[in-house]
Amino acid sequence: MVGSGVLCITGYFLASLSTNPTVGFIGVGIIGLSVGILWPGTFSIAAKGIPRGGTAMFALLALAGDLGCSAGPTVVGMVSGAYNDDLRKGLLYAILFPFLLLVGLSIYKKVKVRVDV
């Protein structure tokens, strides 16, 4: 998941900072690939960490995913609108999401180590 987060940040940098449309398009493709890899990782960690979570856990994960899938583009659109509809500025701001993922994974690793010991 860390690799996907780093790959996602790379894709956002390519999509937002490149003046070449082809490179920007490749960046968006990298973002899609890395985000698609994150879901199985999230489900695996949840199933391993909470083995009796059952259907309710997966329903909450789906709800969180749906919220993220609507909040992320909303924030990008609002930031883009604030900068005269410059989508590149909105995509640059979206780097915040994978950065928060990496911070969360770091915290998870520290907490997990303490619990396992």
First to last CA, the chain: 23
Q: What is the pLDDT of residues 11-30, one digit of tens each?
A: 999 999 999 999 999 999 99
Residue 31: how many CB atoms within 10 A of its CB?
A: 21
Q: What is the pLDDT of residues 59-102, one digit of tens each?
A: 999 999 899 889 999 999 999 999 999 999 999 999 999 999 99
Whole-model pTM: value is 0.84
Tokens 């909105």, residue located: 90
Joined tokens for residue 16 = 């937002």
Q: What is the pLDDT of residues 29-63, one digit of tens each?
A: 999 999 988 888 888 888 888 888 899 999 999 99
